[in-house]
Amino acid sequence: MHSFKELSAKFEQQFSQRQFPEHPANLYDPAQYILGIGGKRIRPVLCLLGNELFADLEPDAFHAANAVELFHNFTLIHDDIMDKAPLRRGMPTVHTKYSDSAAILAGDVMLIHSYEHLNKIAGKYRQKIVSVFNRAAREVCEGQQLDMDMEQTAPEQVKYEDYVNMIALKTSVLLAASLQMGAICGGGSEGNQQHLYEFGKNVGIAFQIQDDYLDAFGDPDKFGKQQGGDILVNKKTFLLLKALELCNGTQRQKLHELLQTSPADKVASVLQIFRDCRVDAWAEKEKERFSQIAYEHLDAIAVISGRKQPLRELADFLLVRQH
Amino acid sequence: MHSFKELSAKFEQQFSQRQFPEHPANLYDPAQYILGIGGKRIRPVLCLLGNELFADLEPDAFHAANAVELFHNFTLIHDDIMDKAPLRRGMPTVHTKYSDSAAILAGDVMLIHSYEHLNKIAGKYRQKIVSVFNRAAREVCEGQQLDMDMEQTAPEQVKYEDYVNMIALKTSVLLAASLQMGAICGGGSEGNQQHLYEFGKNVGIAFQIQDDYLDAFGDPDKFGKQQGGDILVNKKTFLLLKALELCNGTQRQKLHELLQTSPADKVASVLQIFRDCRVDAWAEKEKERFSQIAYEHLDAIAVISGRKQPLRELADFLLVRQH
């Protein structure tokens, strides 16, 4: 068994080799570029952790891990085009550095390459792993579409449960599927796979709630981001949507005005309303609720407790971050 | 054994059912839309023909055929964005009718769905079929990139063999792979698969040369397209590239001027130069050369001649078209 850090190094060692042919350079250089600007490689390492929960590391888990990381980067390239994002990890996005056409095509070929990695998996597990991968891949596309649909909707019109569903599809199902794909490589039973999937999915949702909370209430020195960045751009977050539900008529009116007019004291004023309607306390509880579900699923996996230690530590690290 | 027409009806019967979920509608409606505006379904029928060359139709051949047709339509959606094409088969393109973002994402989810069809294929043949599919898919992306690269290059700078290679990747390898995937489903040997692949690839190239020839010299009444459409938009074609190679200094100078200035008699003047440097006769010979290679590979397939009849008829139909 290995720690997250050790598995991360093992993954990077083989993944950092060039993934694509040299030619045509205008197709493969953009694909290689996004892999080169980093990322925490959380999904592929989850895949390896999922394997080690049940058995020694299999080469198949690396094939699955490579597929998942390529898939994730493909979605980043295409999402950045749709969102017209200029920067990713502090560097120019692929469509900014190259062109929209190059970014579309580079994303496409990365998706195809991810299936090439999956096709190397041993016959015994391949069909099931591809099926888990395909479902997550479809759901990530659905999540991105639902997110774009919500962009066009006034925040007052977005239902909280629809928002949770969108976040789960867009960000959590791939984490969950990565763990499950690893579990399949490790020979985990169907029941254990499901518990592991739900663990990953709920950690993902809890993490997103925490991320929204920290953006609003975190210490910028520790958190490393501008406080209230989401508020400044009117981003729909767990906090905003719930605040609109919890607040009284006067607060709602004031919040609505702040969203429309963006005055100089926008962040402070919105935060005051958030505090007044106690959405800060609600967010801590809601994060705790999803964390709880996640840990219950982890507990329910039928392997000895020691094997779960790296996953428990990862969840503790992700969800009890200092702020 | 069935004719092309019969297989076409069999394919359409199952493919015309809705391929995607209803929701999110903004994701799946664009995908369903492009399938609804027709197309000749040549690739999936090639898949079924490839199967019937060796054995009775297998359900697996339909899974492969569905994958190939979804893949082809995915490439059409993304290519139309890159080419900024307003129309496809006389109807608004997906990005025109919906949006660029919707078209990117609908294409992505179609590609994922094509792998879902492949994942239904029986274990015995699945890995090999996915491998053939993946190679063709990568090559189609490479062909599209090479085409965009050539768009940025003066026609005098494009080498003839590079152009043939680009056309083969962009249009012929998927025809070839469709036949080969079918052959695998039918239990064809590796050697026979290769002959069938080369047959498809060379028919594809010959067809493209004929298409370029007919655009310039075909009877518009019979061909159904405006004569010289390619010439009007300075499209790089087999004829133009070869003419630039065959013609003398004066003709090259004149051709260069015509490409730059687009006078009212552009089509007639370019056609005159094409005739003067005998590129029309060359094109007929070149088409014949690739056709010949195709038929030789068909002849070399080790099955009784009668089984090859539908493929021979299809090639005859595609390549000896009246003009």
Q: Which chain A residues in 93-132 lie under 8 Å from chain B, judged by CB atoms?
A: 100-102, 104-105, 107-109, 111-113, 115-116, 119, 123, 126-127, 130-131
Does one domain contain both B13 and B142? yes
Average pLDDT of the segment spanning B6-11 = 97
The contacts of residue B260 (CB under 8 Å, 6+ apart) are none
Instruction: Please say if the pLDDT value at position B160 is more than 80.
Output: yes
CA–CA gap between residue A312 and residue A303 (Å, rounded): 13
The predicted model gives B220-236 an average pLDDT of: 82
Instruction: Return phi, psi of residue A87, to 5°.
Output: -130, 150
Q: What is the mean pLDDT of chain A?
A: 95
- CA distance linking residue A143 with residue A79, whole number of Å: 11
- What is the predicted pLDDT for the residue at B323? 40
Give the model's confidence band at A323: pLDDT under 50 very low, under 70 low, under 90 confident, else very high.
very low
Rounded distance between C-alpha atoms, residue B72 and residue B69, angstroms: 5
ipTM comes to: 0.96
Of B109, B127, B142, the CB nearest to A27: B142
Domain boundary among A188, A223, A251: A188
**Cβ separation A104–B104 shorter than 8 A:** yes
| A111 chain-B contacts, CB cut-off 8 A | 108, 111-112
**Contact between A108 and B112 using a beta-carbon 8 Å cutoff:** no
B260: closest CA of chain A, how far (Å): 26
Residue B177 is assigned to a structural domain of this protein: no
Residues of B in contact with A184 (CB under 8 A): none
What count of other Cβ atoms lies within 10 Å of the Cβ of residue B253? 11
Residues 39-78 of A with CB under 8 A from B: 78
Size of interface A-B (CB pairs under 8 A): 103
The 10s digit of each residue's pLDDT in B58-101 is 999 999 999 999 999 999 999 999 999 999 999 999 999 999 99
Task: Name A138's Cβ contacts closer than 8 Å, sequence gap at least 6.
Answer: B109, B112, B113, B116
Task: Please tell me the distance from the alpha carbon of residue A60 to that of residue A70, in angstroms, as a whole number.
Answer: 16
Residue B179 lies in a domain: no
- For range B165-191, the mean pLDDT: 98
Same domain, B275 and B213: yes
**Crossing angle (nearest 10°) for helices A59-83 and A25-36:** 100
If one counts every other C-beta atom within 10 angstroms of the C-beta of residue A259, the result is 17
pLDDT at B322 over 60: no
A-chain CB neighbours of B123 within 8 Å are 123, 127
Q: In chain A, what residues touch B138 (CB-CB under 8 Å)?
A: 109, 112-113, 116
Chain B 169-228, CB below 8 Å of chain A: which residues? none
Find the mean pLDDT for residues B296-302.
Answer: 98
Element (H, E) at A315: helix A309-319
Q: Quote the pLDDT of residue A196.
A: 98
Cβ <8 Å between A101 and B123 = no
Interface test with B, best of A78, A138, A163 (most B CBs within 10 A): A138
Q: Measure the CA angle with vertex A233, ends A227 and A239; round to 5°.
A: 65
Q: Locate tokens 């892999």: which residue? A: A35
Is residue B189 predicted with pLDDT exceeding 70?
A: yes
Quick check: B141 contacting A, CB < 8 Å?
Answer: yes
Please indicate, yes or no, whether residues B119 and B219 belong to a single structural domain of this protein: no
Q: How far is A309 from chain B (nearest CA, A)?
A: 34
Closest by Cβ to A145, choosing from B26, B112, B116: B26
Q: What is the mean pLDDT of residues A111-124?
A: 96
Out of A59-68, A224-233, B148-157, which region has the weakest mean confidence (pLDDT)?
A224-233
Residues B61 and B160 occupy one common structural domain: yes
Q: What percentage of chain A exceeds 70 in pLDDT?
A: 98
From chain A, the residues in CB contact with B112 under 8 A are 111, 134, 137-138, 141
Mean of the pLDDT values across residues A56-78? 98
Question: Quick one: B218 and B150 in the same domain?
Answer: no
Average pLDDT, stretch B194-214? 96
Q: Which of A23, A26, A108 to mutate to test the interface with B (most CBs of B within 10 A)?
A: A108
Same domain, B135 and B206: no
pLDDT at A322 over 90: no
Does any domain span residue B180? no
Do B6 and B127 lie in one domain? The reply is yes
In a domain, B174, yes or no: no
- Which of B77, B84, B112 is the mutation pick for testing A, counting most A CBs within 10 A? B112
Let me know whether B94 and B196 are in one domain. Answer: no
- Asked if residue B6 has pLDDT above 80, the reply is yes
Residue that is last in its domain, among A161, A188, A215: A188
Asked if residue B175 is part of any domain, the answer here is no
What domain range is A214 assigned to? 189-323
Least Cα distance to A258 among A276, A236, A273, A245 occurs for: A273
Contact A26 B148 (CB under 8 A): yes
Residues B7 and B97 in one domain: yes
**Nearest alpha carbon to residue B176 among B205, B156, B218, B209:** B205
Token reading at A1? 């068994």
Confidence of residue A221 (pLDDT cuts 50, 70, 90): confident
Are residues A149 and A161 located together in one domain of the fold?
yes
Closest CA to B277 of B244, B228, B311, B305: B244
B98 neighbourhood in chain A, CB within 8 Å: none
Total structural domains within chain A: 2
Q: Look at residue B201 and tell me whether its pLDDT is greater than 50.
A: yes
Phi, psi at A226, each rounded to 5°: -65, 130
- The reply to whether A32 touches chain B by the CB within 8 Å rule is no
**pLDDT tens, A88-105?**
999 999 999 999 999 999
Last residue of a domain, one of B137, B168, B199: B168
The enclosing domain of B101 has a CATH number of 1.10.600.10
Q: How far is CA A153 from CA A159, A235, A282, B99, B105, in A?
A: 11, 12, 24, 17, 19
What's the pLDDT at B320?
78
Q: Do A101 and B107 touch (CB under 8 A)?
A: no
Residues of A with Cβ-Cβ distance to B150 under 8 angstroms: none
Determine if the peptide bond prior to B24 is cis (ω within 30°): yes
Q: Which residues of A touch B26 (CB under 8 A)?
A: 145, 148-149
Q: Is the pLDDT of residue B225 over 70?
A: no
Q: Are residues A260 and A318 in the same domain?
A: yes
With 0-12 / 13-18 / 19 or more C-beta atoms within 10 angstroms meaning exposed / middle / buried, residue B149 is middle
B81/A contact by beta carbon, under 8 A = yes
- The pLDDT value recorded for residue A321 is 54
Q: Are B258 and B223 in contact (CB under 8 A)?
A: no
Asked if residue B176 is part of any domain, the answer here is no
CB neighbours (10 Å) of residue B1? Answer: 13
Q: Do A101 and B108 touch (CB under 8 A)?
A: no
Give the three-class secondary structure for B3. Answer: coil
Distance from CA of A30 to the nearest CA of B (A): 12
Determine, yes or no, domain membership for B311.
yes
Residue B121 sits in the same domain as residue B249: no
Contact partners, residue A263, CB within 8 Å, separation at least 6: A269
